[in-house]
Amino acid sequence: MDEIKIQTGWCDELCVQSRGCISILQETASALAGMRADVQTFDEETRQSFLKLHNRIEQTKERMERIESFLQSGIFTYERLERSLTMQAQQMTGGLLLSEPAQNQWAQMFYGEADIEDNTTGE
């Protein structure tokens, strides 16, 4: 019982997926930025659509970065709480197992299973 750890992995997976989305958005934003010179030759409606698309991609990238930051802070909080709860559980378990009533019960169980006389209690 050296370490009790709840393995979920969901938060780590969300961070990985978030980073993947950010990477795709950065590549898309770069590709669109490379087309800016060509946009000048587009008609006004196409140019406005292009600029709107570019702005939305930038906004989405910023949102994904905030989501990743939120998830990371959640992971740290979760891990800190998990460590604290694990330590408390270990202390409680150790206290229960090592208390005098528990020791007496362990001794009775041992002597009963071993079918030998218990000389520690004066019986």
pLDDT band with cut points at 50, 70 and 90 for residue 105: confident
Assessment of whether the complete model's pTM goes beyond 0.75: no
Does some domain include residue 3?
no
Please tell me the number of Cα atoms within 13 Å of 61 on its side-chain side.
15
Does some domain include residue 26?
yes
Chain segment 16-68, per-residue pLDDT in tens? 888 888 888 888 888 877 777 777 777 888 888 888 888 888 888 888 888 88
Does some domain include residue 123?
no
d(CA 38, CA 40): 5
91 has a pLDDT exceeding 50? yes
Does some domain include residue 89?
yes
Please tell me the number of Cα atoms within 13 Å of 78 on its side-chain side.
14
Residue indicated by tokens 């169980």: 109
Does some domain include residue 44?
yes
Query: Domain containing 73: what range?
Result: 10-114
* Structural domain count of the chain: 1
Is 27 within 8 Å of 57 (Cβ atoms)? no
Does some domain include residue 69?
yes
122 has a pLDDT exceeding 60? no
Does some domain include residue 1?
no
